[in-house]
Amino acid sequence: MAQKPEPPIPVEAFFGNEALYFQLVVKKKFTPNSRLNFFTVATYTADYENNKEENSIVMPVQVSYDIGKGFGLMVGTDINSISGFSAIVGPQFNYASKDWLIVNVASFFLNEDQDFKLFGLYEYKPAFNEHWGLYTRLQYVYNQSWKLGTNNHRYLYLRAGLKRKQFIFGLAANLEQSGPFKEEGANYGLFVRLEFR
């Protein structure tokens, strides 16, 4: 039986009108035939004026066990500049093909506020020919505090561009809403992405 190739490690920089955004995604099996996986989506947003209150980091680190047909269970930690550090557990679903990538994770936070987070990452990347292809991504987070009954953070990140081998570039938008007062932020611009194998 042929093994599926390891997914690439994408590194992205987004130069927006309000801030610089960086994202690194790692999803790797512990061994080629293992049901255990490591997964993280590390992000950092830096205000151009270096206003520390506007800078943010989010870094979930998860170890998951594949149950089968894309479903799994994960445990790990979530570290972010909004709610701090917490242990997390929850179900996940992953699907990957030549044209599609789908990642869904539901995280139950073992913290005082009893946070619950939904994370989704959806990529559609059909090839035009052997050198060029389309790249699109929709990525979202919805984080709710069950104890406080408030939304801590939510975002919608959109990408549309062109792919040439492991190099991707195009248009980007990051739309965010944070805290009980629903403070909004929008960042529009250009992104570049390299996929390391």
145 belongs to a structural domain: yes
The verdict on residue 117 lying in a domain is yes
Pairing of strands 9-16, 19-29: antiparallel
pLDDT band at 36 (very low <50, low <70, confident <90, very high): very high
Nearest to 62 by CA among 84, 21, 91, 83: 91
Q: Residue 22 is part of which domain span?
A: 9-196
In a domain, 130, yes or no: yes
Considering the domain boundaries, does residue 96 fall inside one? yes
Residue 1 lies in a domain: no
- What digits encode the pLDDT tens for the residues 58-69? 999 999 999 999
Q: Answer whether residue 3 is part of any domain.
A: no
> Given this model, what pLDDT does residue 54 score?
80
Please give the angle made by the CA atoms of 10, 16 and 17, to the nearest 5 degrees.
180
Residue 2 has pLDDT above 60, yes or no: no
Q: What is the pTM of this model?
A: 0.91
What CATH code is carried by the domain that includes residue 57? Answer: 2.40.160.40
- For the stretch 130-146, pLDDT in tens is 999 999 999 999 988 88
Query: Is pLDDT of 194 > 70?
Result: yes
Is 88 inside any structural domain? yes
Q: Give the chain's domain count.
A: 1
2 found inside a domain:
no
